[in-house]
Copies of this chain bind each other. A is one copy, B any other.
Amino acid sequence: MAAGLSRSAISSAMSNAEPASLFAALGDATRLGLIASLSDGKARSIVQLGDGLPISRQAVAKHLDVLHDAGLVHRRKSGREVQYALRHEAIEAAQGWLDQVSAQWDGALARLKLMLEGGKG
Residues of A within 8 A of B (CB): 8, 10-11, 14-17, 19-29, 31-33, 35-37, 39-42, 86, 88, 91-92, 94-95, 97-102, 104-105, 108-109, 112
Contact = CB atoms under 8 A, between A and B. Distances in A.
Nearest to A20: B29
Given A8-B40, A23-B26, A41-B109, A99 B88 contact: no
B8 A33 contact: no
Determine chain A's interface SS by DSSP, over half rule. helix
Copies of the protein in its oligomer = 2
22 contacts: A15-B29, A16-B32, A16-B33, A19-B32, A20-B31, A21-B27, A22-B27, A23-B26, A24-B27, A26-B26, A27-B27, A35-B101, A40-B104, A40-B108, A41-B108, A91-B101, A91-B102, A92-B102, A94-B98, A95-B95, A95-B102, A98-B98
